[in-house]
Structure 1
Amino acid sequence: MTRPITDATVQSPTLQTLDMRSRDIFRRIVDSYLRDGEPVGSRSLSRILPSSLSPATVRNVMSDLEHLGLIYAPHVSAGRLPTQAGLRFFVDAFMELGDLAEEERRAIEAQMKASGEGTSLEHMLTEASQLLSGMSRGAGLVLTAKSEAALKHIEFIQLEPTKALAVLVSQNGDVENRIIELPAGITVSQLHEASNFLNAHIRGRTLAEARAEIERRKQETRAALDTLSQDLVEKGLAMWAGAESGLPSRLIVRGRANLLENVSAQADMELLKHLFEDLETQDGLVQLLDLAEQGSGVRIFIGSENKLFSLSGSSLVVAPYRDKDARVIGALGVIGPTRLNYARIVPMVDYTAQLISRMLR
């Protein structure tokens, strides 16, 4: 049984301007691109269309579609390919998603359960990345976010006049050591003052809870600490969150070689180089998690719609996974060329994310 990915754009002005003949020709151009990656011409379309249309009539329809920005000609005498806007329109208005085949569901479940027995969460997620890569023939991606354990203690140790070592200890025994910049003129007594204030209010709370508690006590904070110490308090919490240095995340990517299989042009190699560089940037990790958190289910980003991959022109299908408290703690998905098999990959990513969420409960 199939279902539309969304009903939001079915009533869009663009769709209303297309008659049934135009819709049929547009869908066949996109289907051909997703299948073969090659432009399709009017003569080829006229042979496969169920109605008897001349190549000239098909060319007129294609001209209208091009005027709407849905298709374009990569070369002067070539056939047509969908634009990124055309692909988005196709995904939103036309694409239907089928459920995963039962054998695919069983294969995903068996592999994930086998990887999760007696192993670390990271190992299980690495297997998920490898699994998505193998099934999609794209690159499987998993972003793991550090769980927020309850804090036990924080201490600032001055190293230089403008630098300090921040030591944060969680109640499960994890220790974070980071170098942070100090406000000008900070004193040792102010370091102790900031540590004491934090330790009085954060013990037993997660970072998110500690932030909320400090926010509630803003007025009290201002009264109890001078400006320099208050700045240090905020730096200490931000540092633990990864905003100052280091990130509370790790990116797992498997199957990069799959992205190279159909690459021949040097320009395409340069695009993939940009993609790999984007994946390795720290800002990229934050953006990926933000993308997943902004939606309740699977999200599709085509080409430049996602600024993280705007240079490489890649597509991303991503979904969040959650902990036992239904909090988003990571994301997984598939990266590939814009001609991904979206109808198959979306339910695959969705099911894998839901399965991991159930295993973490």
Structure 2
Amino acid sequence: MNRPECPNTTKKCGGCPLLALPYNEQLAQKQARLQALLGRFAPVEPVRGMADPWHYRNKAIATFAMQQGRLVCGLYAEGTHRVLPSADCLLQQQALNRTLQAVLEAARACRWTAYDEDRRAGMLRHVVLRGTREGRVLVTLVTPGPSLPGSRNFCAALRGSAPWVQSVVQNINPTATSAVLGNREKVLCGPGMVVDTLCGLRFAISSRSFYQVNPAQTEVLYAAAMELAGLTGRETVVDAYCGIGTIGLCAAPRAGKVIGVERNPAAVRDAAANARRNGLRQARFFCADATEWMRRAAGQGLRPDVVFLDPPRAGSTPACIEAVARMAPTRVVYVSCDPETLARDVALFTRQGYRAKRFVPVDLFPHTNHIETIALLQRRAGR
């Protein structure tokens, strides 16, 4: 498989550290890592890779800077705050690369400047792009304050040169932290979201929605998760850390009842709206800490057949794993983006009476060190 040339390789952008390694060797390296970490628990299946591992990312984040008096945007050089101006990333969807260039040109036409953290002056901090498989794009401009003079002209110029842009949102982040997005937003034009198709369902995506960045491989991942769950149409399913409901709603047509739990109120609203959008009345969503909710539910006698866990990179917690075990599901399907924390948590589940049966790795992040893995954990008889 021929490797395209990246303009930022020699500048050490750090976005794809495995780019120089042939893709089959990347998969072999990830397989060996998983085998070393997880092989003692259960068989590790071959990593499911991509046929065409380029331009797969449906999300892009770029930072603005002033260089020689001119507005630029791009990724940070690895380990620095030096912005590498580029709108042509080999991992991002082509529509996002074109959109990033159009955003920069429209911002320059408005004579906007990049925010300088030291002087606390300037208008633009970052831009976040969310794309769909149909080519529609949501643009989110991150600013240090609510003032953005000329925003109407910006939207008109952007949508004139990039008609596939469906909406533009301003996110206000005044904090001096590494977090890209703040908590306040206002819609500058359009509906403030885009709607994507995944596994035959429609999902609304906003700037702060958690949504897997590789749609083609996400369908592979979720199909494997549904297979491991062994749903027959009658089961009660709990989807912990449910986000906007993607896993739970993919399970809903195959289950009797789906309960999603998520502590982010905006995500819960999105999940409920996505259930309505897809006519899935058997799915309900609750805004709560997953651990506390499951502990209460177990005390009230809830005994789901299957629990899906899709925690953040830091993994689950001993308290959450104990709460799952109290509900005593027959199967736990754990979707992990970090093999180290997965190995730790599988060991904790083992102490709670569960046994790992299979590990299914799916390469959602070609040319990076990351790997997504699904673990099937089955409750031991008599527990």
TM tier relative to shorter chain: under 0.3
Higher RCO (CA < 8 A, seq sep 6+): 1
TM-score of the pair, normalised by structure 2: 0.26
TM-score of the pair, normalised by structure 1: 0.27
- Higher helix residue share: 1
